[in-house]
A = this chain, B = another copy of it.
Amino acid sequence: PAITFATDNKVLVKPNLEGLTLPEKYKDWRVISASHRTDNKSMRIILGNDIAIKASRSNQTNPWPDGTILGKLVWKQTTEKNWPTAIAPEEFIHAEFMYKDSNKFKANGTGWGWARWLGKEQKPYGDDNDLNQSCIACHTPVKGRDWVYTTPVQLP
C-alpha cells in the first residue's frame, strides 16, 4: 500500500516542486542527534518522526523503514555570551527533510524524497525538477548507510 505522510502535513507552507510538504508537527519530534559544521559555522539538530525514533532505538537504520522522516534544523552559530568557548545556535537558516518511501522515490535512486524550506518564511527551495540532485550528490558518500550521515545518539 502507498505510504502517506498526510497526518504530518499542513497546507500553510507551500509544498516543494515535487509536492513534498513540510511536516506540521516537526517541532514536537524527538531528537536523533546534533552537529556543528565548523566549515560553514552552523549548528544543526536532527529530529525524527515516530517511525524514525522507533527504528533508531531498535537499531533498524540500514535501511531506515518506509514512513521514516528525518528532519535537520540549521542555525548560524554564535558563542554563548556567558561562556564564550561554547558554540550555540542563533539565527535560523533552514529546515531539511528526508522522506523514506522506497517505492515512491525509487526513480531518484535513493528511496528518499528530499526537501528544504528556507528561513523563517519557509520558502520551498529549488526551482527545477532536479532540485534533489544537489542533495543526493552531497549524500553519495553515505550511500552505504542508506544515504544518511547521522548516527543516532545512544542514551542509557
Question: Which residues of chain A have a CB within 8 Å of any CB of chain B?
Answer: 27-31, 33-39, 43-45, 47, 73, 75, 80, 82-83, 85-89, 92, 95, 119-122, 141-142, 149-151, 153-156
Contact = CB atoms under 8 A, between A and B. Distances in A.
B28 A149 contact: no
A86 B38 contact: yes
A150 B88 contact: yes
A85 B156 contact: no
B149 A85 contact: no
Contact of A151 (B31, B87, B88): B88
Given A73-B155, A119-B156, 6 more contacts: A33-B45, A38-B87, A45-B45, A73-B153, A88-B151, A92-B154
Given A31-B45, A142-B82, A153 B38 contact: no
